[in-house]
Amino acid sequence: MHEMSLCEGILQVLEDEAGKQGFSEVRQVWLEIGRLAGVELDALRFSFDVVVRDTLADGAKLSIIDVPGVAWCLQCAESVPVEQRFDACPQCGSYQLQVTGGDEMRIKELEVN
Ligand SMILES: [Zn+2]
């Protein structure tokens, strides 16, 4: 399940930041997740709880910030919203779209002790 490895990556970042910033406990994590990132949110929440058990983020709350998908349409020559990768342009129906946003996941903010 790739959500599990995503969460292991998140934990790695938390541990690195704890070392740099000198905190010892993470209470809340705000995570930006693009709609095109292909992340299953229920699986992610479940994996997060499992992965952070007995770590500095044990019991931390995971807050997910939904980031809409954006693509550049070659036909319209402008940015258009997309719900899924491989969607057609909502304006002209073209499939010549290049995804420019909403396909990544990143930690936006941490609440720490
Ligand atoms: Zn278009």
Q: What is the pLDDT of residues 2-58, one digit of tens each?
A: 999 999 999 999 999 999 999 999 999 999 999 999 999 999 999 999 999 999 999
The CATH number given to whatever domain includes residue 97 is 3.30.2320.80
- Ligand 1 centre distance from Cα of residue 70 (Å): 12
The total of structural domains in the chain comes to: 1
CA of 41 to the centre of ligand 1 (A): 29
Q: What's the token pair of residue 73?
A: 């349409």
| DSSP string computed for 58-86 | TT-EEEEEEE-EEEEETTTTEEEEESSTT
Domain of 15, in residue numbers: 2-112
Give distance in angstroms: CA of 90 to centre of ligand 1: 7
Q: How far is the CA of 67 from the centre of ligand 1 (A)?
A: 21
Say what the pLDDT of residue 85 is: 86
The pLDDT value recorded for residue 1 is 63
Residue 99's pLDDT is 94
Q: What would the pLDDT profile of 53-107 be if each residue is shown by its tens digit?
A: 999 999 999 999 999 999 999 999 999 999 988 899 999 999 999 999 999 999 9
- Size (the chain), residues: 113
Q: What does the pLDDT read at residue 74? A: 97
pTM of the prediction? 0.85
Q: How far is the CA of 86 from the centre of ligand 1 (A)?
A: 13
